Amino acid sequence: MFLSTRDLGGLAVQLCYYRGMSELRASKWLVDEAALLNNMSSVRCAGGLTQIERLLNHALKEHRQQPIKALVFIGDACEENPDKLLAKAGELGLAGLPLFMFQEGHDSKVEATFREMARLSGGAWARFDHSSPASLAELLGAVARYAAAGRKGLLEHGGDSGKLLLQQLKQE
């Protein structure tokens, strides 16, 4: 992600994750790969239900303080009320914060919710295969270019992932 935006002025990323029954963590804003990898390597899983609404609320709060160009969510499950998540995704869309929902797996109910969340926010949905980390890396690189340079950056990305996302994004 950082390499794909170096020529576009760089990128700042905040790593957020939830685990357990009520834990939501957010890193400070990171501007280099080493810091992001260090933060990611310290994440430990714990059982619990999804907390997507809490994450979206956090993102909206951050966006109001300093505009965020894109929110990437990577997940395989959704145990929350879809109507509440769709309403929050619509709020993000009205605020100008598109969701990029990347789904691992083939759960059709999760797919329907994630696709609609992406659409309502002005973002995009894509599936990735956990056995191919390169496909997720390409998707993340495409979003990074979008965050750094908008549709123009995504157009210049040139890869299949960039084209897939571009087809779904609302016109700016």
Sign of the alpha-carbon torsion through 154, 112, 136, 159? negative
* pLDDT, tens digit, 9 for 90 and up, residues 138-164: 888 889 889 888 888 888 765 788 888
Whole-number pLDDT of residue 91? 98
pLDDT of 5 strictly over 60: no
Q: Is residue 160 part of a domain?
A: yes
pLDDT band, very low/low/confident/very high, at 39 (cuts 50, 70, 90): confident
Q: Which residue has the tokens 């239900």?
A: 49
pLDDT of 166 strictly over 60: yes
Q: Collapsing DSSP states into helix, strand and coil, what is residue 144?
A: helix
Question: What does pLDDT average to over the chain?
Answer: 89
**Phi first, then psi: what are they for 13, rounded to 5°?**
-130, 140
Please compute the mean of the pLDDT values over residues 28-35 and round it to a whole number.
87
Q: Is residue 141 part of a domain?
A: yes
Domain with residue 74: its CATH number is: 3.40.50
* pLDDT, tens digit, 9 for 90 and up, residues 85-98: 999 999 999 999 99
Q: Is residue 81 part of a domain?
A: yes
Q: Is residue 56 part of a domain?
A: yes
Q: Is residue 147 part of a domain?
A: yes
Structural domain total, the chain: 1
Q: Is residue 45 part of a domain?
A: no
Amino acid at position 81, single letter: N
Q: How far apart are CA 4 and CA 53, in angstroms?
A: 30
Q: Is residue 85 part of a domain?
A: yes
Query: What residues make up the domain containing 122?
Result: 50-168
Q: Is residue 123 part of a domain?
A: yes
Q: Are 104 and 130 in contact (CB under 8 A)?
A: yes
Whole-number pLDDT of residue 90? 98
